[in-house]
Structure 1
Amino acid sequence: MHHTPLIATIVAGLVMAFIMGSLAHKLKVSPIAGYLLAGIFVGPFTPGFVADGDLAAELAEIGVILLMFGVGLHFSLRDLLAVKGVAVPGAIGQIAGATLMGMGLSWALGWDPLAGFVFGLALSVASTVVLLRALQGFGIVDTERGRIAVGWLIVEDLVMVLALVLLPALAEVMKGDAPASWTALLVPLAQTAFKVTGFLVVMLLVARRVIPMALHWVVHTGSRELFRLAVLAIALGVAFGAAVVFDVSFALGAFFAGMILGETPLSRQATEETLPLRDAFAVLFFVSVGMLFNPAVVVEQPLPLIATVLIIVLGKSVAAYLIVRALKYSHRIAITAAASLAQIGEFSFILATLGTSLAILPAAGRDLILAGALLSILFNPFIFNWFVPKRQEKTDPIEPPVDTSDLRDHVVLVGFGRVGKLIARDLLAKQRRFILIEDQADMARDAKAEGFDVVRGNAVDPEALKAAGVERAARLLIAIPEGFEGGAVVEAARAINPGIAIVARAHSDAEVEHLEAKGAGEVVMGEREIASRMLSLCAVPGARRRSRAGKR
């Protein structure tokens, strides 16, 4: 056979993932379920071809790096600091609760306390890959609840980095003959804090200047291929360097590299260039998880497995929900955080492997962790679909601005994103009275801070439209990027005010057709407007030449 284990693993993983993912899509099940089943089929516990598990795990790590780099591109340092009030206490409280639940189960199984601690800690940390897939599927990565969920996991990752450094020292102290010493724990803790601090200083003071400068130089070469290579080199290079030099995780290094790049005007282009590779390696991550699953666990340890899954899916989710609500956040944010954490992933596998290698976690504990990871990842898409409110659903009460009953022939603007902000500021400059409808709390606060009248609610909801006085408005401007959701807004507005002039935004011909079918009078598609503008600019010099020729 003329193949290498690397090629065989990639081919088998991707081909089987495509087959099972297609089947899952046909059955209207999340493709993630198909990818996990693909891993089981090419794993060591089923007959037939067996892929190289070590290579699959390394390929999956690349997927985690690229995915965290993509998250960083959309998650600025300001956003991270903005959610620290809920992410830090929430993550620490949830980790403590889940660890205690895991220790309780381990005590019932007759394990020693240190094994229970490692087991509980592994159950407490969620998978970043699974979380981001779910948030992206719901279109809420860049919303307040999405940023809180991602920030929560970043804090968890930091805690796990600390745990991985301290665990060998803790094992040595607990298993040694000499009495436990605080020095044995405090020294590694201080070393870890020093390394993480050094990494942050280098990234914020050095890389924050070097990375944008390097990419701007590449852009000026005019080579798209070189730009793509530069982005990948930054993502993988910083992640690897962070792990080698500072002993922090690949994921954390890639995240900060993306966060720094995200502050530059090149972030959108960098996101587009890394997307194909990110998706491919994310698939390999799920395949690698499936390869670790031994179906015999279901038969040999059914009750411990059920208890493990309940801790992951129910126990720590309830804890997260209660913590977020106790911090005075809305039900929607709390339920999103709870659903986001109803699974375990990458760090759980690392902890399980380290625990068994240090002889402090029994093999049965590792099997329960892997089985719990597979089942919780399998259940997570369904949990999101059942419990997490989608972006277009009515979930919050309407918060109108000042009384709008005296308004006539005004403009109603939907959305305060990049386009909505430009429209709002232009209307203000022209002294045209308008009411803004925005459903995201952070964007609504920004709009109010700029002095705009804001209805805090979803424009799909007729009550939000009525609060903005749409029945008396002259125009409705829909600036949200989701064309099909915009169609629902058009339909709701037409039902209240059939004669209102509606201008909507679209990104594709299908969205244009949908919006026009729902009753939008004018639909603006970015590509068409750019082409029209460029053609009009090309026509001007010709017109001027003809005018000059006529004068002669």
Structure 2
Amino acid sequence: MPETSLFQSFFLIFTGAAIVASLALWGRQPLLVAYIALGVLLGPSALGVIDNVELMAEMSNIGIIFLLFLLGLDMQPKALIAVLRKATFVGLISCGIFLGLGYVIGKLFSFTDTESWVIGMAMMFSSTIIGIKLLPTTVLHHKHLGELMVGLLLFQDFVAITCLMILLSGSTGSVDFTRLGISFAALPLLIALAWGAVRYLLQPLLAKFDRFHEYVFLLAIGWCMGLAELAELMGLSREIGAFIAGITLATSPISQYIALSLKPLRDFFLILFFFSLGAQFHLEMVPEIAFPALVAAIAVLIIKPVVFRYLLGQQSERTILAWDIGFRLGQISEFSLLIAYLAMSQQLIGSAASHLIQATAILTFLVSSYIVVLNFPNPIAIKDHLRRD
């Protein structure tokens, strides 16, 4: 069978996505479910009509970059500092609980100590894409719920960077604390560089040429991807770099115009992300990891909302808000998939542990999406009284 060209892959993905999205809406199902199901169907494990899945997955990561850039554009720096202060306590305690939960599940199914700790790492994080994608724009921009969720997700991003650095040094048998220290020392330096570049370069350029919309669009993309790549070179992550790029530009008078311009581009790549998530899953591993993945997914879906509800309640948050955030964060993360990939590439875990994490991610993505779409205000609700743009 001849290799599928890039154009043919795009044709199959987006034409297929349009068809399954129509069926999903007709059947009152969340669109995210349709994209993942399409990936499984067209990927190597089923029909196998798309063979360049790795390229699609790499391209889809750009969607996460744009998502965090747009988040930054919607937050003022002072508000971010305040919400991170409040999120730190909840973030620290919840990460510790979920790390222990994953370790216990790993040992329960006879994985090694190292594999169990990696499974625990994967359990710590909640999905930025699901959490933010299903949050109404008005809530994200102006409401305490949106600020608190972004604070918790950002705190988890910092913890995820630490975990990734530990895994990168894991093949040597010890944690490279020097490398970790350099990475976190680089964060204030990156913020200072970004702030200086925006104040003395980008804002003057935008003020002078803001009537040229194509130029503003180009400058925004270049700034986002440039700072994301710089963050990667400094030992942080592209996601953190993109968020810093956005928040340093948030004070610009045309930040909201930039945000509106980039949203269609973000959605294009996010469709690729969910498609590639389904396409990369190997169906032949299902008999081996089905029961452990089901147990792990049920544990995450039940325990995560309860933990967040209790911890936020201890912070004097209202009960209804605490449950809302708990269910919106009641899944594992795209970072969990990266942890599984990196740990396997470093030969710290085997194929079964890696696919356990992947299957748990897919199951929790699907069920969590259903829970939020059917019960809480969101932009793609199938019930009219819950739909909020």
Tell me if TM exceeds 0.5: yes
Report the secondary structure of 1:361's partner residue: coil
The whole-number CA distance in structure 1 between the counterparts of 2:193 and 2:103 is 38
- Contact 1:102/1:311, CA 8 A, preserved across alignment: no
The AA in structure 2 aligned to 1:119 is I
**Matches of 1:291 and 1:5, distance apart in 2:** 16
Hey, what does 1:360 align to over in structure 2? Answer: 348
Residue 2 and residue 367 in structure 1: after superposition, are their counterparts in 2 closer, same or farther (change >3 A)?
closer
Q: Is the 8 A contact 1:332 1:388 kept in 2?
A: no
Aligned partners of 1:87 and 1:209: how far apart in 2? 32
Deviation per CA, 1:88-121: give whole Å up to 9, x if none.
1212221111110000011112222222111111
Q: Which residue of 2 aligns with 1:405?
A: none
Match of 2:207 in 1: 216
Q: AA paired with 2:28?
A: K
Match of 2:370 among 364, 373, 382: 382
- Deviation of the 1:52 alpha carbon: 1.2
- Structure having the higher strand fraction is 1
Matched, 1:233 2:222: yes
- Aligned in 2, Cα 1:308/1:19: closer, same or farther, shift over 3 Å? same
Q: Secondary structure at the match of 2:140?
A: coil
Pick from 303, 322, 343 the counterpart of residue 331 of structure 2.
Answer: 343
| Shift in Å, 1:9 | 2.8
1:250-265 to 2 correspondence within 5 Å?
Answer: 250-265=238-253
Q: Which has the higher contact order (CA 8 A, sep 6+)?
A: 2
Aligned to 1:64: 64
TM-aligned CA distance change 1:48 to 1:303, over 3 Å: closer
Mark the CA change 1:48 to 1:359 in structure 2 (over 3 Å): closer, same or farther: closer
Residues 204-224 of structure 1 show CA distances to partners (whole Å, capped at 9, x for unaligned) of 3444443322322331xx322
Query: Is 1:78 the equivalent of 2:58?
Result: no
Q: Residue 84 of structure 1: CA displacement?
A: 2.0
How far, CA to CA, are the matches of 1:162 and 1:48 in structure 2?
Answer: 36
Instruction: Give the conservation status (yes or no) of the 8 Å contact 1:44–1:291.
Output: yes
Deviation at 1:155? 0.8
Give the whole-Å Cα distance in 2 for the aligned partners of 1:329 and 1:164: 32
Query: What's the offset of the Cα at 1:277?
Result: 0.7
CA contact (8 A) 1:86 1:324 kept: no
Per the TM alignment, residue 159 of structure 1 is displaced from its structure 2 partner at its CA by: 1.0
Establish whether residue 243 from structure 1 lines up as the match of residue 242 from structure 2: no
Point out the structure with the larger helix share.
2
Which residue in 1 is equivalent to 2:53? 53
Distance in 2, matches of 1:268 and 1:188, equals: 37
**1:274 counterpart residue number:** 262
Aligned with residue 194 of structure 2, among 199, 203, 207:
203
User: Unaligned 5+ residue runs, structure 1?
Assistant: 175-183, 392-483, 486-506, 508-552
User: Structure 2: how far apart are the matches of 1:241 and 1:189?
Assistant: 17
Matches of 1:323 and 1:295 in 2, distance apart? Answer: 37
Q: Deviations over 1:401-452 (max 9, x none)?
A: xxxxxxxxxxxxxxxxxxxxxxxxxxxxxxxxxxxxxxxxxxxxxxxxxxxx
Q: Which amino acid aligns with 2:181?
A: A
TM-score by length of 1: 0.65
Q: Residue 103 of structure 1 aligns to which amino acid in structure 2?
A: Y
Give me the whole-angstrom Cα distance separating, in 1, the residues matched to 2:89 and 2:200: 32
What is the rounded CA distance, in whole Å, between the counterparts of 2:333 and 2:51 in structure 1? 20
Q: Please name the residue that 2:155 is paired with.
A: 155
Give the conservation status (yes or no) of the 8 Å contact 2:99–2:124.
yes
Q: 1:336 to 1:3 in 2, by over 3 A?
A: same
Hey, what does 2:302 align to over in structure 1?
314
Paired AA for residue 82 in structure 2? A
Q: Which has the larger radius of gyration?
A: 1
Query: Is 2:139 the partner of 1:140?
Result: yes
- Whether the 8 Å CA contact 2:289–2:355 is kept in 1: the answer is no
Whether 1:31 aligns to 2:31 is: yes
Q: What TM-score, normalized by structure 2, do the two folds share?
A: 0.91
Instruction: State how 1:85-96 maps to structure 2 within 5 Å.
Output: 85-96=85-96
Alpha-carbon distance, 1:389 to partner: 6.1
| Corresponding position of 1:471 | none
Please report how far the alpha carbon of residue 386 of structure 1 lies from its aligned counterpart in structure 2 after TM superposition.
Answer: 4.8
Query: How far apart, CA to CA, are the structure 1 residues paired with 2:126 and 2:178?
Result: 28
Task: Give the distance between the partners of 2:109 and 2:333, measured in 1 at CA.
Answer: 23
What secondary structure does 2:192 align onto?
Answer: helix
Q: Which amino acid aligns with 2:261?
A: E
> Kindly tell me: are residues 3 and 113 of structure 1, through their superposed partners in 2, closer, same or farther at Cα, counting changes over 3 Å?
closer
Give, in whole Å, the separation in 1 of the partners of 2:209 and 2:232: 26
Q: CA shift at 1:3, angstroms? A: 8.4
Whether contact under 8 Å (1:97, 1:316) holds in the other structure is no
Q: Deviations over 1:247-267 (max 9, x none)?
A: 221111111111122211101
1:131 matches 2:120: no
Instruction: Provide the rounded CA distance (Å) in 1 between the counterparts of 2:214 and 2:177.
Output: 48
In structure 2, distance between residues paired with 1:332 and 1:205: 41
Q: Whole-Å Cα distance in 1 between the matches of residues 323 and 139 of structure 2?
A: 13
Distance in 2 (CA, whole Å) between partners of 1:389 and 1:19 is: 25
Q: Distance in 2 between matches of 1:295 and 1:239?
A: 34
Does the CA-based 8 Å contact 2:134-2:373 persist in structure 1?
Answer: no
